Amino acid sequence: MTNAFENLSRQLSRLPGLGRKSAERAALGLVRQSNGLLESLLEALQQARDEVRLCRLCGAVTSVERDPCRLCTDPARDETLLCVVEEPGDILAMERSGSFNGRYHALLGKLSPARAAGAADLRLRELSARLVDSPVREVIIAISTDMEGDATAAYIAELLRGTPVSLTRLAFGLPADSGIGYSDALTLKRALTGRQKV
């Protein structure tokens, strides 16, 4: 293998969700395509570098010309609700669901001793600043339910203690189209605890 190919594979492996082997397969696909995929990707990367950024308020993906983003400036959105998520992709998922019409705040991660990600690495100061003299009445924590997510939720709860906002967390339970036999014990426990009247 050439140094250039190894470098391409190494750079691709730095992307989330791509391990060493997946990055190598992607690099091979880019190199062997004769229809200009590599050139198109290079152009798209340059365009993204010049025109795409994260919103300074919520952390969602937006354009350089539109910062704050459309979600932060839309007067039809409920400014009393603030949904805290881990990543900008979580905002996209929430919007696709069509079930939330408030504002967002992406932390850009979660507390993770394994990855040396502490409170200073997250957008927690920005979260606190957004709540000062704000119409927000409820902060909804919509982060993962693993140990790191639970630790991050507990940290946010402590951070917001003493503020006038109500703090809630997304309900836990069984995923749609899933059976009890496929669920782990913690998911079942949370589903029972959060059960609703029919």
pTM (predicted TM-score): 0.84
Rounded distance, CA 61 to CA 52, Å? 7
- Furthest-apart CA pair in the chain: how many Å? 63
pLDDT tens for each residue of 24-81: 999 998 888 867 888 899 999 999 999 999 999 999 999 999 999 999 999 999 999 9
84 phi, psi to nearest 5 deg? -95, 125
pLDDT tens for each residue of 146-184: 899 999 999 999 999 999 999 999 887 777 777 777 777
Contact 71, 58 (CB under 8 A): yes
Which of 100, 105, 158 is closest to 131 using CA atoms?
A: 105
Q: Which residue has the higher pLDDT, 181 or 99?
A: 99
Rounded distance, CA 191 to CA 45, Å? 42
Instruction: Check pLDDT > 70 for residue 98.
Output: yes
Contact 181, 188 (CB under 8 A): no
Q: Spell out the domains of the chain, with CATH numbers in brackets.
A: 7-53 (1.10.8.420), 79-169 (3.40.1360.10)
166 phi, psi to nearest 5 deg? -85, 135
